[in-house]
Chains A and B, each alone.
Chain A
Amino acid sequence: MAKGPYSDKVMDHFMNPRNMGEITDANGIGEVGNPACGDVMKIFLKINDDQICEDVKFKTFGCGAAIASSSMATELMIGKRVDELLALTNQAIVDALDGLPPAKIHCSVMAEEAIEEALKNYFKSKGQDPAVVDEMKAKIKKEN
Chain B
Amino acid sequence: MIYLDNVAGTKPDARVVEKMLPFYTEHYGNPSAHFYPIGREAFEAMEAARGEVASFINAKAEEIVFTSCGTESNNLAIKGFLKNSKNTGKHIIISEIEHFSVDSTVTKLINDGYEITKLRVDDSGLVNPDDLKKALRKDTALVSIQHTNPEIGTMQYTDQLGAVCREAGVAFHVDAVAAAGFSELDVKALNCDMLSIASQNFYGPKGAAALYIREGVKVSGLMDGGHQERGYRSGTENVPAIVGMGEAARIAKAEMGVWVPELVRLQKQLWDGLGGMFDFLHFTGNKDRRRPGHVSFWIEYIEGESLLMWLSLKGFACASGSACSSNILAEDEEDLAASYVLTAVGVPSDICAGSLGMSMSKYNTQDDIDNVLKVMPETVQRLCEMSPMYNRK
B333 close to A62 (CB less than 8 A): no
A106 to B302: give the CA distance in the assembly, Å: 19
Closest beta carbon of chain B to A106's beta carbon, Å = 5
Given contact pairs A38-B303, A104-B333, A60 touches B386 in the complex (Cβ within 8 A):
yes
In the complex, A18 has a CB within 8 A of chain B: no
In the complex, A77 has a CB within 8 A of chain B: no
A63 close to B333 (CB less than 8 A): no
A62 close to B350 (CB less than 8 A): no
Q: When the two chains form the complex, which single residue of B301, B302, B386 contacts A17, counting CB atoms closer than 8 Å? A: B386
A42 to B350: give the CA distance in the assembly, Å: 17
A102 close to B305 (CB less than 8 A): no
Q: When the two chains form the complex, which single residue of B328, B335, B351 contacts A35, counting CB atoms closer than 8 Å? A: B351
B336 close to A61 (CB less than 8 A): no
Given contact pairs A14-B309, A38-B323, A62-B306, A67 touches B386 in the complex (Cβ within 8 A):
yes
Closest beta carbon of chain B to A35's beta carbon, Å = 6
Residues of chain B within 8 A of A130, CB atoms compared: none
B335 close to A67 (CB less than 8 A): no
The residue in chain B whose Cβ has the minimal distance to the Cβ of A15 is B313
In the complex, B6 has a CB within 8 A of chain A: no
A60 to B386: give the CA distance in the assembly, Å: 6
0 or 1 for each of B282-319: is its CB under 8 Å from A? (1 = yes): 00000000000000000001111110010001000000
A67 to B385: give the CA distance in the assembly, Å: 12
0 or 1 for each of B315-356: is its CB under 8 Å from A? (1 = yes): 000000011110111111101101000000000011111100
Q: When the two chains form the complex, which single residue of A5, A14, A17 contacts B329, counting CB atoms closer than 8 Å? A: A5
The number of chain B residues touching the other chain, given as a range, is 20 to 34
Given contact pairs A38-B322, A38-B354, A40-B389, A61 touches B327 in the complex (Cβ within 8 A):
no
Residues of chain A within 8 A of B388, CB atoms compared: 31, 40-42, 59-61
In the complex, B387 has a CB within 8 A of chain A: yes
0 or 1 for each of A53-70: is its CB under 8 Å from B? (1 = yes): 000000111111111000
Q: When the two chains form the complex, which single residue of A39, A59, A103 contacts B332, counting CB atoms closer than 8 Å? A: A103
- Name the residue among B322, B325, B330 with the largest chain A CB count within 10 angstroms: B325
A104 to B306: give the CA distance in the assembly, Å: 13
A67 close to B306 (CB less than 8 A): yes
Residues of chain B within 8 A of A59, CB atoms compared: 386-388
In the complex, A20 has a CB within 8 A of chain B: yes
Given contact pairs A39-B303, A102-B331, A103-B328, A64 touches B309 in the complex (Cβ within 8 A):
yes
A105 close to B302 (CB less than 8 A): no
Within 8 A of B (CB), among A30-84: 31, 34-42, 59-67
Residues of chain A within 8 A of B387, CB atoms compared: 40, 59-61
A61 to B354: give the CA distance in the assembly, Å: 12
Closest beta carbon of chain A to B139's beta carbon, Å = 38
B329 close to A101 (CB less than 8 A): yes
Residues of chain A within 8 A of B332, CB atoms compared: 102-103
A101 to B305: give the CA distance in the assembly, Å: 14
- Name the residue among A17, A41, A67, A105 with the largest chain B CB count within 10 angstroms: A67
Residues of chain A within 8 A of B385, CB atoms compared: 20
B306 close to A14 (CB less than 8 A): yes
Given contact pairs A62-B324, A103-B336, A34 touches B329 in the complex (Cβ within 8 A):
no
The residue in chain A whose Cβ has the minimal distance to the Cβ of B302 is A61
A61 to B307: give the CA distance in the assembly, Å: 11
Given contact pairs A14-B309, A104-B333, A5 touches B353 in the complex (Cβ within 8 A):
no
0 or 1 for each of A75-104: is its CB under 8 Å from B? (1 = yes): 000000000000000000000000001111
Residues of chain A within 8 A of B331, CB atoms compared: 102-103
A63 close to B389 (CB less than 8 A): no
Residues of chain A within 8 A of B328, CB atoms compared: 5, 101, 103-104
The residue in chain B whose Cβ has the minimal distance to the Cβ of A109 is B333
Residues of chain A within 8 A of B313, CB atoms compared: 15
Closest beta carbon of chain B to A61's beta carbon, Å = 4
Within 8 A of A (CB), among B364-389: 385-389
Residues of chain A within 8 A of B301, CB atoms compared: 61
- Name the residue among B333, B349, B350, B389 with the largest chain A CB count within 10 angstroms: B333
A37 to B324: give the CA distance in the assembly, Å: 9
Closest beta carbon of chain A to B327's beta carbon, Å = 7
Closest beta carbon of chain A to B51's beta carbon, Å = 38
Which 8 residue pairs of A and B lie closest in terms of their CB atoms, listed nearest first? A63-B324, A63-B305, A59-B388, A38-B353, A42-B388, A61-B387, A103-B330, A36-B349
- State the B residues within 8 Å of A (CB): 301-306, 309, 313, 322-325, 327-333, 335-336, 338, 349-354, 385-389
A-B contact pairs, 7 of them (CB 8 A): A5-B328, A15-B313, A35-B389, A61-B388, A101-B330, A103-B328, A103-B329
- State the A residues within 8 Å of B (CB): 5, 14-15, 17, 20, 31, 34-42, 59-67, 101-106
Given A61-B302, A64-B306, A102-B333, list of 11 further CB < 8 A pairs? A17-B386, A35-B351, A37-B323, A38-B324, A38-B336, A38-B354, A39-B353, A40-B389, A63-B306, A67-B386, A101-B328
